Amino acid sequence: MVNLQHNDLSHVVAADRAHVWHHLSQHKQYETADPRVFVEGRGMRLWDTNGREYLDAVSGGVWTVNVGYGRESIADAVRDQLVRLNYYAGAAGNVPAAQFAKRLIQKMPGMSRVYYSNSGSEANEKAYKMVRQIAARRHGGRKWKILYRDRDYHGTTIGTLATSGQDQRAAQYGPYPDGFVRVPHCLEYRAQWDVENYGQRAADAIEEVILREGPDTVGAIVLEPITAGGGVIVPPEGYWPRVQEICRKYDILLHIDEVVCGLGRTGRWFGYQHYGIQPDIVTMAKGLASGYAAISCTVTTEAVFEMFKDDASDPMGYFRDISTFGGCTAGPVAALENMRIIEDEGLLENTVAMGERVLGNLRALQERHAVIGDVRGKGLFCGAELVADRATKEPLDERCVQAVVADCLAQGVIIGATNRSLPGFNNTLCLSPALIATAPDIDRITDAIDRALTRVMA
């Protein structure tokens, strides 16, 4: 237990209320209540300005702190690097950026090049620019369209919001640029087709969109390996092999967005590695350095990279992009130490074991609570969809869903739920505890959900 009671931090709370514009927050509430301000973290525990302890089951709120709070070795590595060399723009190299790129590629057979930036949104934006430039240089501007999937999310910039399969995320921020085309989601629990091989049918729907748009107009498709904020959707069996087949058939680049799933969240280094597919572009952020420094990567095959260096005489031929802080230098150092911790502490194996415990516990709760319609996930990335009626699958009112989240918070356990994402379908509880989670941690999380459901649904 961290003792903060001897420090009066009311002035910090006052400064927060007066000057900080929080993410994802309606600030009217802070006219009558204090904003929550965290002071310290250790492992999976957080303490706020009142000294209250919380068990964090969402890894920093957005699936980020994969190796837990208070890792002195990461902080020390960053500090030492900043003293040695804090910054030079990515037009030149630096030692940690080169070292981490090499280590990362060793985990990604078939990939070869790492382009650094700062956030998942930015990493995806870079990929979109690559696709557009390839279209201009290689296809006479034709293969410029980028497909994205209903319920998936790829970032908060205008460009990435144009590929938001979550309508509430994108609402009121348009108009958006042209050339981004939606394909159907693959959640079998919310089936769109009455077929036996649902995974293949959901993938076939992508081909139908390609044929409608014209294969010579489509340059890439961006997909999360497992949909995150859209409801923790694990694609059905048969989906991914068929997606790969379709991309190769029509010469479409396969871009996998690993911003949430990457760096161990699903029990493998990357979510796509569960499915035996070979992407052309992979983007990542969040758990890449577990939140100890800002870093994201856009990783490509050598074939993609070569398309930007074939004609040295063309002044417009290379990838004319820059990210001011991308790869400079704290991010790669933190990512190197983060990767070492995952390896040395066997956190991939722990993620598999604890993920099975989460899913087992949630399925046991499903037996006791009719409000749990579906349980799904992979590794320490799990969801429970709440319904008002199991027979009809009518979604539970999101006010009740948020009441469950609030009840868990009152118990000192922080869980998540789909939030301002899908009109009428913000009804999935989301769990993403750090990869260091223990069996007692998992049991405490699911016990809190059990009690919350009992109270809220009474």
What would the pLDDT profile of 87-122 be if each residue is shown by its tens digit? 999 999 999 999 999 999 999 999 999 999 999 999
- Give 146's pLDDT tier (boundaries 50, 70, 90): very high
pLDDT for the residue numbered 1: 45
Please report how the helices 398-410 and 439-456 are oriented relative to each other, as an axis angle in degrees rounded to 10: 130
**Helix (H) or strand (E) run with residue 180 in it:** strand 180-183
pLDDT for the residue numbered 310: 82
Q: pLDDT of 4-59, one tens digit each?
A: 555 789 999 999 999 999 998 999 999 999 999 999 999 999 999 999 999 999 99
The residue among 2 and 188 whose pLDDT is bigger is 188
The residue among 173 and 2 whose pLDDT is bigger is 173
pTM of the model: 0.97
pLDDT for the residue numbered 354: 98
pLDDT for the residue numbered 446: 98
pLDDT for the residue numbered 7: 78
Q: Vertex 294, ends 292 and 300: CA angle to 5°?
A: 120
Q: Are strands 394-395 and 382-389 parallel, antiparallel or unpaired?
A: antiparallel
pLDDT for the residue numbered 119: 97
Written as six digits, the tokens of 132 are 């557009």
Dihedral pair phi/psi, residue 164, rounded to 5°: -85, 120
Share of the chain above pLDDT 70, in %: 99
pLDDT for the residue numbered 3: 53
The rounded distance, in Å, linking the Cα atoms of 24 and 416 is 13
**Helix (H) or strand (E) run with residue 416 in it:** strand 416-417
ω before 215 within 30° of 0 (cis)? no
Q: pLDDT of 397-444, one tens digit each?
A: 999 999 999 999 999 999 999 988 899 999 999 999 999 999 999 999
**Contact indicator for 384, 57 with CB cutoff of 8 Å:** no
Q: pLDDT of 226-248, one tens digit each?
A: 999 999 999 999 999 999 999 99
Q: pLDDT of 52-80, one tens digit each?
A: 999 999 999 999 999 999 999 999 999 99
Long-range pairs, 374-378, Cβ under 8 A, ≥24 = 374/189, 376/189, 376/232, 376/233, 376/234, 377/226, 377/232, 377/234, 377/431, 378/226, 378/234, 378/266, 378/267, 378/271, 378/274
Please report where in the chains the tokens 């009311």 appear, as a residue.
10
